[in-house]
Structure 1
Amino acid sequence: MKRLLSVFLAVLGVSAFLVPPAGARTPFVTPFMGWSSWSLESSTRAGYGTSWLNESHVRDAAATLAGKLKAAGYTYVNIDSGWNASPSWVFHTDVNGIPDPDPARFPAGIPALASYVHSLGLKLGLYAVTGLEKEVYDKNAPILGTSCHAQDIAYRPLTPSNGWGGNWKVDFTNPCAQKYYDSVVARFASWGVDFVKVDGTTADNVADIRAWSAAIDHARRPMWLTASAWPVPRSIGSSLAPYANGVRVDTDVECYCETVSSWDSSVKARWADLPDWLGVFGPRYRPDLDSMPISNNTGSGIQDGISDVERQSVMTFWSMASSPLYVGGDIWFLDASAVSILTNPEVIRVDQVGTYPTRVTGGDHQVWTKRAPDGRTYAAVYNLGSAPADITVDFDGARPVRDLVARKDLGRFRGSWTASSVPPHGSRLVRIG
């Protein structure tokens, strides 16, 4: 009997070692790549807006992603806000307060959609928000696996929570609060969900992200967890590090107009805002710069709203930041220029090495560098001004320089290399060494 007990304890010890501790984020090695629906939902262009989100359009986006971008590493199909709400924003939850898809938008349900997405070799993401949904509180939904109800886990006095103040703050001293999040994520896992974006994160919502992270652990299905807002407050950047895989560090990239975005609303903000966050991130915690408006600038469908020069600067900046790379336009109309920019393997490699940059020079003519694990240096120059400019990168000794966007060697340079006539809003990306 004693020997059997010893064997049991040994096996238990091994099992405990193999299972990550509750609340620790799933250890993804590289930033995710894919597509998100929100840019199309945010636009005022005819045929888009929140009514655009439905099962048919998501299936079309998944098929296009699989056919044109999957080979380059883009695999996530992320459904943003509205999947569990009617076009008039009436939210749906079941008897236990677990979000349900809107039956008009997703008549076949999320499991069928996830199955289709997975059949293409892709992954499916869903959207959630911090705080307790007021509809769940009002109906006092019973929490699965407990004797508690939704009103038992609401913080007292009732306090608005999340970036809109639209949900109630949760009392995480009540163990039933974690059980509620466990029930939501267990349902997501049963559907085949691979990604969760939790939006509206304020300085008061660190505990919410911790609860989502723990619930993902308990569900035992790997899910990328992004803490999102417009942006998440920098003050909680380090506090979220043990729980989230990524954190939104900037405002929405969308212009909320007839295009996806514009340089001023709000692509260029990233160059000013990312430096405040550098030093927070590590190999399992990524800066999320929001979606990339690189999809379609020709023919039918919504236009990106930025030029090809600006599109390349987006791809270069996101990659230097080791940010998740996800497209934010209508990829059904993906044009050839977008495909070329998005699938350049030498630029994608800069993103996927996972290290972080240093801003060497600020102002209108910026120089950023980062060191790859193999010891070589990547350097990007950006012209944020209104006229063409020469921008110089300094380094020690004589080094070979390769243009990663053009995918050609430029030669060997001693002490510096100069990018000539960089156009307004343009960039150059090179490997040194």
Structure 2
Amino acid sequence: MLSESDIQQASLPPRGWNSYDAFSWIISEQEFFQNAELISQRLRVHGYEYVVVDYLWYRKKVPGAYSNSLGFDVIDEWGRMLPDPGRWPSSNGGKGFSEVARKGGAYTEGGRVWRAKDIAIPERSCAWMSNGFMSVNTKLGAGRAFLRSLYEQYAAWGVDLVKHDCVFGADLDLNEITYVSEILSQINRPFVYSLSPGTSVTPTLAKDVSGLVNMYRITGDDWDTWGDVKAHFNIARDLSTANMIGAKGLKGRSWPDLDMLPFGWLTDAGSNEGPHRYCRLTLEEKRSQMTLWAFAKSPLMYGGDFPYVTSSKNSKSKYHHQIGKPKRSTKGKKRIHSLRFIRCTESKASGWSVENLNQNLERICWKGSLENEQQNPFCVHKRELQYQLDGKGMYQEDYRGKHQLFATNQMRVCLDGSPKRKVTSKEHKRGSFSPCRMDSNQIWELKSNGTLVNSYSGLCATVNYIEANVGSGGVRSWIATGRRGEVYLAFFNLSDEQKTRIYAKTSFLAKVLPDRRINSCQGKEVWSGKNVVTTQGTIAMDVEVHGCALFVLYCS
């Protein structure tokens, strides 16, 4: 065994590239190698050393396969996932992700041969991928043997980082995290251990896992919307205040993870389509996201398809017109969708229609009362229910033509048909739908007359448009110090309304940094390149909507 002094894993927040934002689950070996080569050539010198194949690398890319489908996975006789050789030709012959494969054996205990199905915990299936993941029973010797075989196989393939899904946050399985950490601690090579996703994370929960891992997500999935970026400010502040940034971790340090950077050429969540659109964040919003991630010392994993954005024919000048300005409301009001439930015989119940996103994914949208063509419709993704067999092997007719409806940016939450509450698009965006489950309250049928009927209540969903007050969103600031004595200061304007003048007094900086002598400062604002100097003991700048100012200061 190597001593702790010999290995310092994740001494800095890990940096690299992750395939999910650009390719969802469908990335091929060629696409992966193209991104890996460019990351190595252009970003490795800046510390970007990991290229991560995200989930479902073992799923066959064939008609009928999608993110939560059944029956398309490549697994060995012991229930361990293997790369799909159709997508990963170099894995042919059981080579996995390397030229060296490690073959295990069935686990025998007390004269019994245990199979993968014997060690699963079906009631702990992953809420957002019920047909994909479930917990392993670590109380069983067979369960522990399976996990050990799995991670030792990854190590034999040469894997340097593993991303463990659906065991943290609202899906917490501390037993499995603890045992996997124990396995990795005994592997005689660096192996970064990452947890994801991290909904409902608190500082207390972070303290429970930080010493077992090297990075752990503290939010749900982050996509290219301002709402997603803005949602990270409070939790990043809370984890920083709790001194969790760079705390002791598995054979090194651990870092709260704010998720990938959804910049460049992207796909959509849960899509069967590769990169096909440019990031929707404005330039100001991207700067705010990058600045917050840096101040919070989050792992930095670029999410876009790197060959596209680095190609000379796809230079920034070609698609700069796609980067719009944030929409601003008028007189503190904006119109949002309000979803409610009425009798299906009412005329207002009709107005739903299906839109095809690709050959395997559809969404259902309300267009019954749009006031103009520019108004965004209320949409939910459609997931066909898996046909279930009865005792005679016949399909249950009740499920034919019916489906669940899940939030566009959070596949793990589904629309409930309760008539007792209204659901606004703001709630929908925050993922306040209920976790998906086989419940008649979450089963819907779209009729030919454009009505959307709930199987439990028999009521139909309809959408109204309501006026909502728009809050300012507030102002935030972060401060940090550098290795050469410099002070980093960031102002963030979270407002949806207007440019805001933000300032800080040097007396405040001195209070926050009591070991520094701070009377006056001078330096530069990074994004504008402007020189700055304190005036009457104050640093001030006008900051655009959703934007930030980043100062590098030298104080005396």
Q: Same fold (TM over 0.5)?
A: yes
> What one-letter code is carried by the residue in structure 1 that aligns with 2:158?
G
- Aligned residue for 1:104, secondary structure, equals coil
Which of 502, 507, 529 is matched with 1:391 structurally?
Answer: 502
Judged with a 3 Å threshold, the aligned counterparts in structure 2 of structure 1 residues 428 and 145 are, in CA distance, closer, same or farther, namely: farther
Q: Which amino acid aligns with 1:292?
A: L
Match for residue 237 of structure 2 among 258, 266, 275 = 275
Verify the 8 A CA contact 1:163 1:201 in the aligned structure 2: no
Q: Please identify the structure whose Cα radius of gyration is greater.
A: 2
Alpha-carbon distance change, 193 to 35 in structure 1, aligned in 2, over 3 angstroms: same
Return the structure number with greater helix share.
1
Unpaired runs of 5+ in structure 2?
Answer: 100-104, 247-252, 267-274, 318-471, 508-518
Deviation at 1:20, TM superposition (A): 4.8
Measured in 1, the distance between the counterparts of 2:536 and 2:148 equals 58
Give SS of 1:81's match: coil
Query: Aligned match of 2:19 in 37, 40, 47?
Result: 37
Question: Please, which of 168, 188, 199 is the counterpart of residue 231 of structure 1?
Answer: 199
Q: What do residues 104-160 of structure 1 show as CA deviations (whole Å, max 9, x unaligned)?
A: 1112129989679xxxxxxxxxxxxxxxxxxxxxxxx8249997524596377x532
Q: Decide whether aligned partners of structure 1 residues 181 and 366 sit closer, same or farther in structure 2, where only a CA change above 3 A counts.
A: same
Q: 1:407 to 1:281 in 2, by over 3 A?
A: farther
Choose which of 275, 279, 289 in structure 2 pairs with 1:314: 289
Per-residue deviation, 1:428: 1.3
Contact 2:109 2:141 in 1 (8 A): no
Match for residue 194 of structure 1?
160
Counterpart pick for 2:180 among 212, 229, 240: 212
Matched, 1:416 2:538: yes
8 Å Cα contact 1:34/1:74 also seen in 2: yes
SS at match of 1:294: coil
* CA–CA distance in structure 2, aligned partners of residues 307 and 223 of structure 1: 36
Deviation, 1:163, is 4.0
Question: Does the 8 A contact of 1:401 with 1:413 survive in 2?
Answer: no
> Larger % of strand: which?
2
1:145–1:179 CA contact under 8 A, matched in 2: no
Q: Distance in 2 between matches of 1:429 and 1:422?
A: 10
| AA in 2 matched with 1:91 | D
- 1:240 aligned to 197, 205, 209, which one? 209
Structure 1, unaligned runs of 5 or more: 1-14, 43-49, 117-140, 255-260, 339-361
CA contact (8 A) 1:26 1:217 kept: no
Pair 412,394 (structure 1): closer, same or farther in 2 beyond 3 Å: closer
1:101 to 75, 83, 88: 83
Corresponding pairs, count: 348
C-alpha separation in 1, matches of 2:473 and 2:256: 22
> 1:27 corresponds to which letter in structure 2?
Q
4+ runs deviating over 6 angstroms: 110-113, 144-147
For residues 32 and 144 of structure 1, what CA distance do their matches in structure 2 show? Answer: 39
Equivalent residues of 2:22, 2:265 under 8 A apart: no
Report the Cα distance in structure 1 between the residues aligned to 2:477 and 2:226, rounded to whole angstroms.
19
After superposition, the C-alpha distances for 1:382-408 in whole angstroms (9 at most, x for unaligned) are 111131121112223212333344567
SS at match of 2:184: helix
Shift of the alpha carbon at 1:172? 2.1
Write the mapping of 1:209-358 to structure 2, written as runs, cut at 5 A.
Answer: 209-231=177-199, 233-234=201-202, 236-254=205-223, 261-264=224-227, 266-278=228-240, 279=242, 281-283=244-246, 284-296=253-265, 301-335=276-310
Residue identity matched to 2:259 = D
Residue 429 of structure 1 aligns to which amino acid in structure 2?
L
Q: How has the CA–CA distance of structure 1 residues 389 and 400 changed in structure 2, closer, same or farther, with 3 Å as cutoff? A: same
In 2, are the aligned partners of 1:400 and 1:413 still within 8 Å (CA)? no
Using the alignment, how far apart are the partners of 1:174 and 1:196 within structure 2? 23
* Counterparts of 2:136 and 2:28, CA distance in 1: 31
Deviation track 1:149-203 (CA, whole Å, cap 9, x = no partner) reads 24596377x5324444554443323344332222111111111111111111245
The 1:391–1:229 alpha-carbon spacing in structure 2 relative to 1, beyond 3 Å, is same
Task: Measure the CA separation in 1 of the matches of 2:125 and 2:166.
Answer: 9
For 1:131, the equivalent position in structure 2 comes to: none
Is the Cα–Cα contact under 8 Å of residues 302 and 329 in structure 1 kept in the other structure? no
CA drift at 1:301: 4.8
Query: Separation in 2 of the partners of 1:232 and 1:144?
Result: 39
For the residue of structure 2 that corresponds to 1:219, the secondary structure is coil
In structure 2, distance between residues paired with 1:113 and 1:73? 27
Residues in 1 aligned to 2:78 and 2:545: alpha-carbon distance in whole angstroms? 54
- Residues 199 and 381 of structure 1: CA distance in aligned 2, closer, same or farther (over 3 Å): same
Distance 2:47 2:303 in 1: 16
Q: Matches of 1:312 and 1:268 in 2, distance apart?
A: 12
**SS, match of residue 309 in structure 1:** helix
* 2:332 maps to 1:370: no
Cα 1:74/1:144, change in 2 over 3 Å: farther
Deviation at 1:26, TM superposition (A): 6.2
Does the aligned pair in 2 maintain the 1:380–1:430 contact within 8 Å?
A: yes
TM-score by length of 1: 0.71
C-alpha displacement at 1:81, in angstroms? 1.0
Q: Relative to 1, partners in 2 of residues 1:144 and 1:226: Cα closer, same or farther, differing over 3 Å? A: farther
Match status 1:19 vs 2:130: no
The aligned residue for residue 159 of structure 1 is 123
CA distance in 1, matches of 2:109, 2:290: 46
* TM-score normalised over the length of structure 2: 0.56
What per-residue deviation string (whole Å, max 9, x for no partner) do you get for residues 206-258 of structure 1?
A: 1212222222222222121111115263252111011111111112112xxxx
SS class of match (1:178):
helix
RMSD after superposition: 3.3
C-alpha distance in 1 between matches for 2:200 and 2:180 = 16
How far apart, CA to CA, are the structure 2 residues paired with 1:91 and 1:328?
25
Identity of aligned residues (%): 23
Residues 85 and 152 of structure 1: is their aligned pair in 2 closer, same or farther, counting only changes over 3 Å? closer
Deviates more, 1:397-406 or 1:87-96: 397-406
Structure 2 residue matching 1:267: 3-state secondary structure: helix
Residue 426 (structure 1) aligns with? 547
- Give, as a single letter, the amino acid of the residue that structure 2 aligns with 1:425: H
Q: 1:5-154, aligned counterparts within 5 Å? A: 18-20=2-4, 27-42=9-24, 50-51=25-26, 53-87=27-61, 88=65, 89=69, 90-109=72-91, 142-143=106-107, 149-150=114-115, 154=119
